[in-house]
Structure 1
Amino acid sequence: MKNTLKISLKANEKIYINGAVVRVDRKTTVELLNETQFLLESHVMQPEQAATPLRQLYFILQIMLMNPGNADQARDMFRQSLPLLLESFRNEHILSSLKHIDRLVGEGHVYDALKTIRGLYSLEDEILCGGRMAPAYQDELREIA
């Protein structure tokens, strides 16, 4: 099958599939036979970890996968946050990635959007440490913190 995806899980590891939390009691392999929204436990971000703009965006999208009942509210938060991020970052790679993330979310590929965001963390960390982010967003981060 074209959409088949095999995921190996350790004993007591969780996977979030279409909003359901599944925990396995022993090492196992799960084969997803059709397209589905899922998130591995190792990729779940805790609220206190959402301390940077991209990590906050990740957390918002994560809610869409883990809690489909609140997906509309999370989608609204995403739509409010994205323009702020596009105005704040000056790095072309991050800007083009944010536009790509917007397309992915619009097409329902939230997992792929999360994967793209995770790939930007090191670049975001460099920017935040180097002070190359727009001052307006830095002020907003101080207000959130």
Structure 2
Amino acid sequence: MALKLRLKPCERVVINGCVLQNDNRRHTLTVSNFAHIIRGSDIMQEEEADTPVRRAYFVIQSMLLDPGAAEQYSSIITGIMAKLYNAFVHPEMQDRIMQAMQNVSERDYYKALACLRPVMQYEETVLDGAKRRHDAMDEPRVGG
């Protein structure tokens, strides 16, 4: 089954490591066979990889963008994902992490990234809650 990519004006897409950029009009590309594809808007910059799950996402993204270097990242991502699996006690998040690893082993990096997106959202929620609790502890108490 073919994949149809509807590109917005000036949108970028990476296909098998090749960066394509649309012109000033909407356009549809049809990809007729398997390819490693990621939209420019889904590409994380290295400085954004500032949490454990985001670092995992960035490494898998690097495997997608540079298939030639994917082998060298293999042991790195295995270690990161094992630590994530042990750190997250939420069964749904563990399932998503395991599915992401399965996708990596099948070299379907885009699906692996898709599995990690909800884990990133969950991680952000947990970190925000911890920050709010920490900030609340730092507030001066009135009348005490």
| TM-score where L is the length of structure 1 | 0.82
- RMSD between superposed Cα atoms in Å: 1.4
Whole-Å separation in 2 of the counterparts to 1:20 and 1:55: 23
Give the gaps of 5 or more residues in structure 2. Answer: 131-144
For the residue of structure 2 that corresponds to 1:35, the secondary structure is coil
The structure 2 residue matched to 1:8, chosen from 6, 14, 22, is 6
Q: Distance in 2 between matches of 1:120 and 1:22?
A: 29
Task: Say how many residue pairs are matched.
Answer: 129
Q: In 2, Cα distance between the equivalents of 1:74 and 1:63?
A: 8
Choose which of 20, 23, 26 in structure 2 pairs with 1:25: 23
| Other-structure match for 2:126 | 127
Letter in 2 for 1:96: D
What SS does structure 1 have at the residue aligned with 2:10? coil
CA distance in 2, matches of 1:75, 1:40: 23
For 2:58, the equivalent position in structure 1 comes to: 59
Tell me the percent identity: 31
Distance in 2 (CA, whole Å) between partners of 1:97 and 1:113 is: 9
Deviations 1:59-79 (A, max 9, x none): 000001111221112222111
Q: Mean Cα displacement is larger for which, 115-124 or 33-42?
A: 115-124
Q: Secondary structure at the match of 2:82?
A: helix
Gaps of 5+ in 1: 132-145
State the TM-score, normalized to the length of structure 2. 0.83
Where in structure 2 are the equivalents of 1:56-95 lying within 5 Å?
A: 56-95=55-94
Query: Partner letter of residue 48 of structure 2?
Result: Q
Q: CA shift at 1:119, angstroms? A: 2.1
Deviations 1:37-78 (A, max 9, x none): 100001000111111111111100000111122111222211
* Offset of residue 124 of structure 1: 1.1
Quote the Cα distance in structure 1 between the aligned partners of 2:22 and 2:72: 30
Task: Kindly provide the amino acid, as one letter, of the partner of residue 17 in structure 2.
Answer: G
Q: Which moved more, 1:110-119 or 1:71-80?
A: 71-80
